Structure 1
Amino acid sequence: MTPNDRTAKGGGSYGPLNSPSLNSPEHESLIGSSRQRSQAYGLREMDAPDFSVAGRGLLNQTLEENSFLYQHAAPVMETLYQQIANTQSMVLLTTRSGMVLHSLGDADFLEKASQVALAPGVDWSEKSKGTNAIGTALTEEHPVVVHGSQHFLEANRFLTCSCTPIFDPYGKVMGALDVTGDHRSYHQHTMALARMSAQMIENHMYADVFPKEIIVRFHARAEFLGTLMEGIAVFTGDGRFVTANRSAQFQLTLSANALGAHTFSSLFGVSISQFHDRVRTAGTRPMNLCLHNGVTVCCISDVKSRMPFGGMHFGATASASDEPAADTQAKAPAKADAPSTAASRDAQRRESLSSLRYLDTGDTQVAAVIQKLYKVRGRDIPVMILGETGTGKDLLAQAIHNDSPRAGNNFVSVNCASIPETLIESELFGYEEGAFTGAKRKGSVGKVLFANGGTLFLDEIGDMPKHLQARLLRVLQERKVSPLGAGKEVEVDVAVICATNKNLKDMIARGEFREDLYYRLNGLVVRLPALRERQDLEVVTRKILASVCHSPTPIGISNQVMNLFHQFPWPGNFRQLYNLLRTAVVMVGCNEDIQMHHLPDDFLEEVQMADLVLPRASVKQMEVIRPAPEQAPAMTAPSAPPPFASTKLENVALGAMAQALRSTGGNVSVAAKMLGVSRNTIYRKKALLPADVWG
């Protein structure tokens, strides 16, 4: 099916993606056609599903081939999952062929999902699984819901799946976004959430797909700029039309084919050179333009084209005003409407990690951090936590809150890196009913107001968009919030903790972070050491093992494995250690001891790449480190690792990566293949590599 065909049907990337309602004649016809295809593929309803998973090499290759899709979809999936959390559901991202790339799900539903192989590397095309939302949506290139018994294979009929294709800016299917859950908990709005999320992913791609073209974002109402509803149109430097998103086509009242015959001047009523002049003079203000159909729109533009004179570049980005659009009063937050965040769910699962005292496990650097935090407890002094990714900044923030006088009120975590830029303003500051199309009927309180009386944790603060930094500074200084669409400010009282793995002072020097916001946030600055720098590796390893395995007999770990842990540089820090141990415990089964063959393959690949030579396991080396069941882990520091091991391992790994990157001109994919590792392995160590290796 071509983009023209999709436009004619009213679907695809170039028209409104309205899926037929469940059990409507259109929907029954779509399901009937899919069932006929399933039978033609030779499938039978009673067949056992194909549980085979793509091999590690094929899955890694597929992830590399779809890295552009994944990097734009992952943060949107996180936001979508927060909206459906605790509904016995999961969110999946697939390739255009139907292979699952990534999934997020409720813990209590994941076990059911594993029974039908809803996991990365599994093929959910119609040829493999018959009628199902993923395969059918990709075949029809149209959103579809497959409910319960409508699945072709009987084994899948306990599911209800809502899936929508994801189109690239040129209108070609590049994958699919799916929400799958227990058929008994299906909600009719699930598909709407999936469609909006897919459109958000598609909109995010434009800037990366067209780095040199002129991207114009517009809407008849200024407050809709930067939201899901803005129109996006792309033009060449001389004004020729390239492509446009669904909202742009709707506002321009023209199909993609019809737009192809137009230029910038015929659509917006000014020449491209006049437009350049207006962008330069607009500064940070939105511009008004008149569309060919007489509608006046507010416009912002990223102009990256080369001027035809003097070889000089020019650029300007005009952003929508922060002024409220309506005179309405924001409501005080109610606990019943608490936003469900990944951080809050995780905190509930790990209640034992709830105090500063618990985090003091024998490392002198951490102990010094905790002593400083005790001194400012309850003093309303903002705390800034520095440290590499995965060092436990979120756990420390939660512990600070739980040990503070505000512990009885909300702890609200906001990951500034995972919330899409188009949503972060409404997520932080909330919005009133009717503030924009797709807004919740009763509006949204926003994270800042929901933290009123408690603690607001701004994780990855260095990734907050520059235009929102000014608004956050104003909120922190004036202690007032103005939700989107509200005409009045609401007083708010929050303690602020922020965290980052970036050098904010360097960002200030480059103009990427506001200096005044920095000095408003850094009342007390503490740094969490990386795992490789800590003295308490054995203590935290035992604590993690105790948290992931609830066997009556404490699980042990061989000296050979622990010696390897002491030598490994842990680029992913505690997050990497936790995931590794969780996988190892599954391999062990909670009734043996962790040996080398229980460790995940990707971890052993990193060890091999670093040329770490392990001695053969002797009887002494196979002894097991095991805490006494009736005692808490000792708080004294364990013996130090070999003094040269970590340095040797890290230097060899970094040297090999640097050489590979230089020889490939900074091409991570090719370098990873040369080294026999995943691209993520190189990206995890990006901060440690010389700047000149990136081409």
Structure 2
Amino acid sequence: MQRHPPAGAGQPDDPIDKAHARSQAFGVALDDRPDYALLPRADLSDALEENRFLFQHAVPVMETLYEQIANTHSMVLLTSARGLVLHARGDSDFLEKASRVALVPGIDWSEQTRGTNAIGTALTEQEAITVHGDQHYQQANQALTCSCAPIFAPQGQLIGALDVSGDHRSYHQHTLALVRMSAQMIENQMFAASFPKAVRLHFHARAEFLGTLMEGIAVFTPEGRFLSANRSAQFQFGMSVNALQAHTFSSLFELPISALFELFAGPSPAPRALCLRGGVNVWARTEIRPTGPWAAPLVQPLAADADAAPPAAPRAAPAARRAPQLSSLQYLNTGDGQLAAVIAKLHKVLDRDIPVMILGETGTGKDLLAQAIHHDSARARQPFVAVNCASIPDTLIEAELFGYEEGAFTGARKKGAAGKIQQAHGGTLFLDEIGDMPRHLQARLLRVLQERRISPLGAGKEIEVDVHVISATHKNLKELIARGDFREDLYYRLNGLVVRLPALRERSDFEAVVHKVLKSLDGSDGQDDAAPVRIAPEVMRLLLHYHWPGNVRQLHNLLRTACVMVDDDRTIRMEHLPDDFFDELRPPAGATAQPAAALAPPMSFVPGEALPPPWPETPEDAQSLQDVTLQAMAQMLRLHQGNVSAAAKALGVSRNTIYRKKALLPPGLLD
């Protein structure tokens, strides 16, 4: 007998179609009767013992999950990585029905034995999936709807799966999101138990997600060696656990782990701002367990309150006191002609109900510009609500944006929750990384922008909203439109005024930006009369030559680290700069034109000491940058009487860097 074609059939990458093809290859028959051959009790006991770590952390979560789905003709199941059902909890009436299809502990539900089903297919694809009704390969299972999410061990390997199965007539599309979250809760609990003495860092781009299932968790040795990371952390790093094994804390956060200990010193420190490699800002808290010669207090988790305001600007180590409030467009105007033109345009459209789209590379300050637009508008006393479309999983972004009513889906809050659009009523909605919004939600967003009404999930009514929309992206939306990944009608609804933020290397106000960033970072150890941090002329010259792929965000991170490292003279010198900065000190490949920074006369940060020209104009001048670096290295080698290890430590570079560049030293330079 032929099965009914599932939704999405015919698409080459459709997981259901791929699962059916595998089922056929396995020789599973469509009309096979359920196999009730239970695993012998002794073998099931062995399987439970083999999966004891998973079992002991999953069962409490299963109980909570069952309380949320009770009386819905459903059940919760835990399986091994091979698809063997280890434990089940559910409504008595449905448990009886489930037993008729052998959906009980001790039965193998892999694709090899059952064909396409949520458990077997989720384990094979290693992705969460719902298999509904006749999407099941075997006819006997087509009365079921099952949502399953794989579970991964702290070391990254597949360890099992969590499944909610029920009557196909009570199917709801949002059940899968609940299963995903429960699986992630199990993973996080196993994660916490696996590294009791490690340095555990919790982080997310949005402060309100600290202490929730969406936070990233990464663990390191006290020396900074990477141990592991949960799936949210892998997503934020953009790397798998295997790829992350090649990294350290310093290479991931461009900050020595000793600086992390300083940032979180003291009793119950607040969440701090850190910067990932690549320039992404995150809020972080840490748990540093006493071990070895050092000790630091545990940091209490930040309460997960969706309605709570984000924490105040971080009080970090001596050189990172709270930054000034970037409350106006004028504050951002530091003398660059391109940026001044952008600000002038924005002043003309303030309070005109014209949507603004901000384009620019990652790290150019699109979020700060959006906040400045809001603070200079008549909506300044109303909410400013930011949504990063790239940081929220596809399964949650719909509820995040539009909210949901009580009972909208299994596991929903009893009182429902207002979405970000509704929270921004009367104020400004900032849609960051709009190019990453899932295609299926773009039509809903377009309707909201056109009609100024939203319909929360599960609600039978619409709610009027009044928001000013600012969007931002580093992607080329027109290319996305051409590929069919972004709606053209939504693009033209969002781009009332399009402005482009210049890259840092294109700006003529580079030194003014450096001065402003330094001023925001310079906490002067809490002493108002302490001397401000300065930059040595040779360091400023190197900064002017760098191509800044991470833009202002990268500059901020580099200066923040340097401020922590300065000595008593409070001057940033070469030895305070990270190793990779020296390795990357070259113009971007193929660059021929001077950066905009070279068009302005250099500003001196030390009275009476003028800086050399900020960018070489001839091949002979290009060599001077190398000369500055070599002279600094030679000076340090002379100071340490040729000791390469001591010189490398003083310069903050690796020994290999010294050995590699030592061959370039002119004869006699070390004498």
Superposition TM-score, scaled by structure 2 size? 0.49
- Structure exhibiting the larger radius of gyration computed from Cα positions: 2
Superposition TM-score, scaled by structure 1 size? 0.47
